[in-house]
Every structure is written in C-alpha cells, then in structure tokens.
Amino acid sequence: MNDAIPFDASQTFVGGCWRAGASGQLLPLANPSDGSELTRIARGGAADIDAAVAAARAALAGPWGSLTAAERGRVLLKMSARVLEQADLLARLEALDVGKPLKQARADAVALARYLEFYGGAADKVMGETIPFANGYVALTLREPHGVTAHIVPWNYPMQIIGRSVGAALAMGNACVLKPAEEACLTALAFARIAGECGLPAGALNVVPGLGEEAGAALSSHPGINHISFTGSVAVGSLIQAAAAGNAVPVTLELGGKSPQVVFADADLDAALPFLVNAGIQNAGQTCSAASRILVERPVFDEVVRRMAERYRALKIGPALDDLDVGPVISARQREVVMGYLEVVKASGLAVAAAAPMPPSLPRGGYYVPPTLVAEVQPDHRIAQEEIFGPVQAVIPFEGEAQALAIANGTPFGLVAGVWTRDGGRALRMARRLHAGQVFVNNYGAGGGVELPFGGVKHSGHGREKGFEALYGFSSLKTVAIKHD
C-alpha cells in the first residue's frame, strides 16, 4: 500500500461493503507529476455494476428509502462537516491523482463540502404545487426521486463533480452508482468511506471503479437504472445518450467547451487580467469551462496580449505537491494531445505571445506541457475551434459588438462565456445573445457558484446541474388530481 493513501484503493464499494471486483483484475493508477505508479484500483465490470445496481435498488426499498427529506439532509450535512475535517487528506489525494497543485485541490475539497452543505440544507425545501383546476378537484404535484441514478465522472475535477451530481441526487432520495474515471478515483473512494462513517445507509452510494468501455458502458446501458448523469467528452456523451435511449431513461450531459471571454475596449483591464489568464491555466487547462478563447477589441488588443504574456512568463510549473501555479496534465496521452496542438500552432506560423518557462528540475516521467499564449488567431483556426484540454489560450481580435458575437458563438460549443465592459446595455445585450449555459459579466466563474445552475447548449450538452435546478433534474414530477365531490 502507498503510504500517502491511507486505505486499500483496490476495492469497490457496494451495498455498504468494501469488496474486490468480481474479475479480481486491477488497473494501475499513475501519478501525473512523475509518471510513477501510485496504486492499483479495481477493474470493475458488468458483474460489479449488476451488484451495485441491485444494492441501490435494495437501499431504496430499505432504510434509505424510508428516511424523511430532513433526515437525508442531516446525513449530507454530516458528510459535509467530515469532508471539511478531512480536507487536507482529500486535497493531497486529489493532487497526487490528478496532478493539480495542492491549493487548487484543497479548493475542490472545500467545494465538495459546500455542495453537500447546499444540498443537505435544500433536501427538505423542494416543494410541489397546487394547481387551480376544475371545480370539485384538488390538483397537486409531487417531486419524487427517479430511483437508481448512474453517475459517470471524469478525472479533471472528481471531488467537485461528485459533490454536484451525487450530492443533489442523494438530497432528492435517489440511490447512486458512481463510476469514477480510471485515471483518477482516489477521492471517490475516500468519499465513499466518509459516507459510510457518517451513517449514509448501505446501498445509497455505491462506487465501482473501472474502464469506461467496461464498467462505464455496463452502467450506462443497465436496465436497472432510472437516470444518468454524465460529465465528460462529447464523443462518449453521444454513446451515453444512445445507451440511455435504449432504456428510455433521462440523461444529463455535461460535455466540453471552447468558452470565450470577450474583452471590450472600455473594460476594466486591471480587473479582467487575472481572470483572463487563470481561467485558461487553472488545472493545467483541463477544465470544461476553461476560457480557451480570449476575444479582444482591436484598440486594446496589443495591451491585453502584452499583459497576459507577462503573466504567462511568471507562471511556475511543477509537481502537484510543490503547490505552484500549474501542474502536469493527467496522462502521457493527454500530453501528446496538447503537444500535437502546439505543433499545429508552429506549423501554421501563428505568433506565440508567451510560453511559461519549463524548469529543468521537472521530474522526467511527469506529464508537463508549457502553458502557451497564442495571439492573432483566426476564429476558424483549429486552436480556436477545438477543445484542447490543456493550458493553451488563443487570443482573437475583433471590431465591434456584432463581430464579437459572431466569433463567440461561432463554435459547436456553448458552455460558459464572459463579457468585460463598463457599458451596462452592451453587457445585457451580449448576455442575452451569447450561446452559453452561463454568462459572466465583469467576472468569470463566480468563484465556483455552487448555487448557480450549470450546463451547456449545443455540443456542450443539456440538462442542468448545480443550484436548485439540479434537484428538479434528479427528480420526476408526479401530478395528482383528487376529485372530492
């Protein structure tokens, strides 16, 4: 066992018990900071998913299903407090597993606690309605859990995505089967331990690690599930939607993005600058809502590029536990993808405005890429159209509001957008016309915004998580019409 991981990470969590995967096979989990093997995880498969779905079904028929909404909320609040108590441990596990700098991992642990706090508090505040209907009737609506919910999670923000997805599903009384990503699942396992310690009834949360095409595919196509929440790539999202169609179950897809921040010449550049850069390099750019396109109005274009470039040159890169600005990307494969895009930049003669220095002391086996700022990018260039999922930002000039909108909306994605301007009317016009599930004016990301519904349009997906909206998504509405005379 690795000393940094204070539990056996090779098991599944099903029906409140830790057990080896049915196949007995294990998968190596790499440390992206140096390429070493951190530990081994279970290679869960169809038999483990069957057992997890059965355990979840039994929980709904048993103690979990009989808790009141307030009681469910109290368990989540207890889990929230426990996550905070263990924030240092969780942050360390996430940093080792994902490669993100420790302070970013700690912020994710705090966000997980906040999701559980928000949804714990909300559990008993989801109301139905009474409906004015025909004489002699009382008509009302009830919000009921779907039943067994499947949660397929990527590797970039495991704690945050588990918090928003599993937290909301449990608050509504669903029983969850969680399939974490094969590249990073230590905090999913730690979360299951916390759930057990805090008295979450057996089977309400089940965790089956494994490969996407094995455990993930078995879960998404399982006839015993009633809802799927998927966060990940567009390609896999399409497969998930097809699998959901096979069983006629609802699905929430949180997919990728090519999110723009639009900077008008009248913007407060001092306020904008940190957001422009951080939203591109945070988590080494492996963020679905990364601002990978920065659109800048011509009169301030050179100034913005110059000031962003200064920040890039000052970025410090290193192993996650050194807690610098940027860590490695998740895997050798992801590193190849990002380096491939940097080759495309070079081959098309684009101007690299700045690349962060790569210190010679970086561990040789680590998956590091140089954060790179590319200026004067044409809106239809590949690096302005495709999700790179690495610390590479394209800066695109524009002239006037209409062109800004056309460029901002001119990709297949529509997850998040930012607008920087001192003109209130323009801010509102842009907010209305941008194709995005969230628009931020004179900020970006609203510090995480647990309360704010989140999700995409176009290829960024559909359905909403976070905020109260997620509770509606994780429940189905029943209408009851009572004839009384």
CB atoms inside a 10 Å sphere around CB 22 = 18
Among 254, 297, 387, 465, the active-site one is: 254
Closest listed residue to residue 103, CA positions, set 321, 295, 250, 313: 321
Contact 121, 467 (CB under 8 A): no
Q: Are strands 416-420 and 351-355 parallel, antiparallel or unpaired?
A: unpaired
Which tokens hold the place of 364?
Answer: 């040789």
Amino acid identity of 85?
Answer: E
Contact 195, 170 (CB under 8 A): no
Identify whether 254 is a catalytic site residue.
Answer: yes
236 binds ligand NAD (CB under 6 A): yes
208 binds ligand NAD (CB under 6 A): no
Cα gap 119→23, rounded to integer Å: 36
Stretch that binds ligand NAD, among 22-30, 151-159, 189-197, 477-485 (CB under 6 A): 151-159
User: Of the candidates 179, 227, 335, 466, which one interacts with ligand NAD according to CB under 6 A?
Assistant: 179
* Coil, strand or helix at 393: strand
165 binds ligand NAD (CB under 6 A): no
DSSP tally for the chain: helices H, then strands E = 16, 20
Contact 36, 68 (CB under 8 A): no
User: Of the candidates 105, 198, 217, 244, which one interacts with ligand NAD according to CB under 6 A?
Assistant: 217
**Site mask for ligand NAD (CB under 6 A), range 278-297, x = bound:** ----------x---------
**Site mask for ligand NAD (CB under 6 A), range 455-474, x = bound:** ------x-------------
Q: Using CB under 6 A, which residues numbered 370 to 409 contact ligand NAD?
A: 387, 389
Among 94, 198, 288, 465, the active-site one is: 288
| Min dist. Cβ of residue 43 to ligand NAD (A) | 12
Following DSSP, what letter does each residue of 188-199 receive, concatenated?
HHHHHHHHHHTT
User: Strands, E, within 174-278: which ranges?
Assistant: 175-179, 205-207, 227-231, 251-254, 260-263
| Min dist. Cβ of residue 233 to ligand NAD (A) | 3
Stretch that binds ligand NAD, among 93-101, 114-122, 229-237, 277-285 (CB under 6 A): 229-237
Stretch that binds ligand NAD, among 23-31, 201-209, 248-256, 258-266 (CB under 6 A): 248-256
Report the catalytic residues: 254, 288
Which residues bind to ligand NAD, rule: CB under 6 A? Answer: 152-157, 179, 181-182, 212-213, 216-217, 220, 231-233, 236, 239-240, 254-257, 288, 387, 389, 415, 461
